[in-house]
Amino acid sequence: MSSMMNGSEDSKRSKDCRDSPAADEANGGEMMGGMIPLKKGPWTSAEDAILIDYVKKHGEGNWNAVQKHSGLFRCGKSCRLRWANHLRPDLKKCAFTPEEENRIIELHATMGNKWARMAAELPGRTDNEIKNYWNTRIKRLQRTGLPIYPPDVCQQLYKTIQDGKNLGTLQTGDTYDPDLMQTDHFKIPEVEFKNLELSRDVLSYSSGLFDTSPSSMLKQGVGSSYGNALVFPTIHPAKRLRESQTIFTGLDGCVGRGMPVFDQLTDYPCGKIIERSGLSSPYDPDLSTYDQPPWDVFPGSHAILNDNSSSNMPICGAMKLELPSLQYSESQQDSWGTPTSPLPSLESVDTLIQSPPTKEMQSDGQSPRSSGLLEAVLYESRTLKNSKKCSGHPTSDVSVTFGGVHVSPLNTSATEWEIHADLNSPSGHSASSLFSEYTPVNGSSPDGQGETI
């Protein structure tokens, strides 16, 4: 890191100079004729001190003025970033706690890639920090074929769908149109979920434990998504083990509630896992030996058992995980590990997550910036909604059944589904992708993959 850009930092001007022409002027006016390039690369403690001092005197904002007033050879953007990410007094320097990690997942499911807003929900954390965490997590999950969102988050989303009335009462500062949230985005083809339910019936799981011991957590974790392991044999066992440990460590606060984080561990050499984890092996490759997985609580099934093509493309599917960005009230999100009502199969949601991109998605002209942003979704949906109201364009009237729970029609047309799809954003996994990626099936799924088995 220390030498990261030493070679180039003096030869190139900060990009901020593009953003901030005034910075050039400042440079020119106060930095020796403008010939002194702005410094880039790692910040020194001296620079930090200067910046801190500047902020103390002038407050945050107007970052380009820092150059002028403090003599720092840093562009305003760099100063802002440094302050926001490292120097702010309220920053937490410790690693994310399991609670924070859970919260991030929740927030991402809710907001999409709104890092700043997520950071606002996590005192002491920065958008960059969250983004890095998320991207790392996404990378890990993608590689391992794990669902981006834990089942509990999916449950929460589903619950939100059901309980749209609360969507407008957020404590997150979000001010989305409740009406929109309630009605426009999540019409999930019933056929799909019937399919999932059907598949569930095919499953035969052993009874499970719900204590909070690490072993049971692991068991539940495995159980909660495990079929995936059977279709994701792509990861080097050692690598996956390491990743899994990381996940477990990071999310141990919730795995006991059905985290699917050990999905692909079922093909691990049990002995090694035991050795590493110090736990009784929850990775018995024989699924029939597992204790009851949490999805018994939330009936459903997994793609692997659906004979759904999606299950055959786990990695691909895992890479396309834009969930609907749902808003929900705080009262609903106490924890994604605390289901409060009969909810759709987490496995069903996993199935969605694991599903390969639909034809629409694959062909969908993507927005210039992959976003997965709720606002964008909402806005576009609103626009569509309005336009449809005007044009009289019929929306597909498809109800949703989550694990036996019927969801009222949400008036989302196939067109809107396409809009929600976000192909270019492997990291842009908001909840919207979960549903949007799930091809709306009006009996005309382009490739038929959405058809029932």
Which residue number, 16 or 291, has a Cβ lying nearer to DNA?
16
Q: Between 116 and 274, whose beta carbon lies closer to DNA?
A: 116
Applying CB under 7 A, which part among 74-82, 316-324, 345-353, 398-406 lies near DNA?
A: 74-82
Q: Is 173 left (phi over 0), alpha (psi -120 to 50) or beta?
A: left
**Token pair of 144 as six digits:** 């391992």
User: What DSSP designation does 287 have?
Assistant: G
402: which strand partners? 405
- Distance, CA of 267 to CA of 36 (rounded, Å): 58
Site for DNA in 373-402 (CB under 7 A): 373
Q: What x-and-dash track marks residues 134-163 binding DNA by CB under 7 A?
A: -xxx-xx--x--------------------
Q: Residue type for 201, please?
A: D
- Show the tokens assigned to 114: 């709104």
| Closest alpha carbon to 30 in 61, 58, 1, 70 | 70
Closer residue to DNA (CB): 119 or 346 = 119
Q: How far is the CB of 172 from DNA (least distance, A)?
A: 12
CB 193 within 8 A of CB 344: yes
Check binding of 108 to DNA (CB under 7 A): no
Interactions with DNA, residue window 289-318 (CB under 7 A): none
What are the tokens at 412?
């989302």
The answer to the question of residue 64 lying near DNA (CB under 7 A) is yes
Per CB under 7 A, the list member of 30, 52, 65, 388 interacting with DNA is: 65
> Shortest distance, CB of residue 405 to DNA, whole angstroms?
31
- Based on DSSP, count helices (H) and strands (E) in the chain, helices before strands: 22, 2
Percent of residues in the chain assigned helix, strand, coil, to nearest 5: 55, 0, 45
The H or E element containing residue 142 is: helix 127-144
Nearest distance from C-beta of residue 248 to DNA, angstroms: 11
The answer to whether residue 63 forms part of the interface with DNA (CB under 7 A) is yes
Report the residue number, 115 or 336, with the smaller CB distance to DNA.
115
Q: How far is the CB of 251 from DNA (least distance, A)?
A: 11
Residue 368 makes contact with DNA by CB under 7 A: yes
Scanning residues 111 to 130, which ones bind DNA (CB under 7 A)?
A: 112-117, 119, 127-129
Nearer to DNA, 21 or 448 (CB): 21
User: Contacts with DNA: how many residues (CB under 7 A)?
Assistant: 79
CB nearer to DNA: pick between 309 and 424: 424
Does residue 370 touch DNA according to CB under 7 A?
yes
Tell which positions 15-34 bind DNA, by CB under 7 A. Answer: 15-16, 18-23, 25
Residues 218, 241: Cα–Cα separation, whole Å:
13
> Least CB distance from residue 41 to DNA, whole Å?
5
Q: Measured from the CB of residue 262, what is the shortest distance to DNA in angstroms?
A: 15
| Rounded least distance, CB 200 to DNA, Å | 31
Residue among 68 and 200 whose Cβ is closer to DNA:
68
C-alpha to C-alpha distance for 234 and 380, rounded to whole angstroms: 37
Q: Residue 21 or 446: which CB sits closer to DNA? A: 21
User: In 3D, which of 262, 302, 306, 305 has the Cα closest to residue 284?
Assistant: 262
Q: Which is nearer to DNA, 183 or 371 (CB)?
A: 371
Q: Which of residues 83-102 bind DNA (CB under 7 A)?
A: 84-86, 95
Structure tokens at 320: 């396309």
Identify whether the C-beta of residue 228 lies closer than 8 Å to the C-beta of residue 354: yes
Mark 424-453 with x for binding to DNA (rule: CB under 7 A) and - for no binding: xxxxx-------------------------
CB atoms within 10 A of CB 123: 10
Distances (CA, A) of 452 to 136, 137, 191: 35, 32, 7
Interface of this chain with DNA, residues 218 to 277, rule: CB under 7 A: 236, 238-239, 241-243, 246, 276
* Residue with tokens 């059907």, as numbered in its chain: 198
246 class by beta-carbon count within 10 Å (0-12 exposed, 13-18 middle, 19+ buried): middle
